Amino acid sequence: MNSSGLFFALFTSNVMKGGKTVWIDVAFSGGGVKAFAFPGAIEVLEQAGFQFKRTAGTSAGAIVAALLASGYTSEEVKKVMETMEPGKLLDSPERIRFPFYRWLRVYFKMGIFSGHSLENWLKDLFAAKGVTQFSDLPPGALRVVVSDLSKGKMAVLPDDLKDYGIDPGSFSVARAVRMSAGLPFFFEPVSLYDGNGERSLMVDGGILSNFPIWIFDDEEKVLPVRPFLGLQTIDDEEIDRIPKKIKNAADMFRGLFSAMHEAHDKKTISKLKGSNILFIPVKHIETKDFDITRNEREQLYKLGADQARKFLKKWTY
């Protein structure tokens, strides 16, 4: 076990035995509707005595991270997830059903859906806790990962907003999270302009880093500032360890996309998987399954809780 894993094990053992609260940092992976599993795991962690000092996330994980950073409890996050209607966040005009119009929209707008409904939904959620911009949060409480397609680089918000000539504290939390969840071709990219007036198209952070646990893994330090944990949903191929089969161009595109969003994270995942990562294996539910049923949501919630309980049982030294 590495030093950070031992540090975490010691803290966990003390929490489980003594019942005292321990503050930790937590990172959430992307995964679309699979994120319905996160509230179950969060609830178990809270019941075990953990509270979250700093959060980080990509895509759907950024939504959960931002809710926690804004002051939502696990019970409140669960209620948000139970009552949300994913289909209503797609703000599509009626004519979007016509393939030709959809193609035109993707070509000119670079996304089928504008993302306005998603951003407004997020604004309302954060505003309910008094959060509008990053300065409304404690310093360093939230980081979300976004991909800058124009510059070909990853951006961590709010930290990297200064590179675009933007005051990090004044930037909208809802807009940052909406950018992180902006699946390419599905949602329109968000434009940011740097100090030279050059436009950057910002999309889903999962393209370059789908699981930003590395944000809390500082290799220069022997021990982290505090214990940190990553929650990652994994799919059928990862669960069954099935190599990706490339038979045609479509398979090749999926393989390229998968390689891009996993490459940056794999070194950290390999290093920490025995200690700091709570894996949640999700089968038979796709990332973009916006028609997910209430029963499927409840099953994901239970799955997250069950996996967290199993994980906590291993934390002994």
Instruction: Give one DSSP letter per residue of 126-154, joined into a string.
Output: HHTTT-SBGGGSPTTSEEEEEEETTTTEE
DSSP element (H, E) containing 62: helix 60-69
Q: Is 150 a catalytic residue?
A: no
Q: Residue written as tokens 């990332």? A: 287
Closest CA to 57 of 35, 31, 27, 32: 27
Contact 173, 117 (CB under 8 A): no
The phi and psi torsions of 168 (rounded to 5 degrees) equal -55, -40
Per annotation, catalytic residue among 4, 59, 70, 200? 59
Q: Is 200 a catalytic residue?
A: no
Terminal-to-terminal C-alpha distance of the chain: 10
**Cα separation values, 223 from 2, 5, 55, 220, Å:** 10, 9, 18, 9
Contact 132, 184 (CB under 8 A): no
Per annotation, catalytic residue among 204, 217, 235, 265? 204
Contact 161, 133 (CB under 8 A): no
Contact 41, 312 (CB under 8 A): no
Enzyme catalytic residues: 59, 204
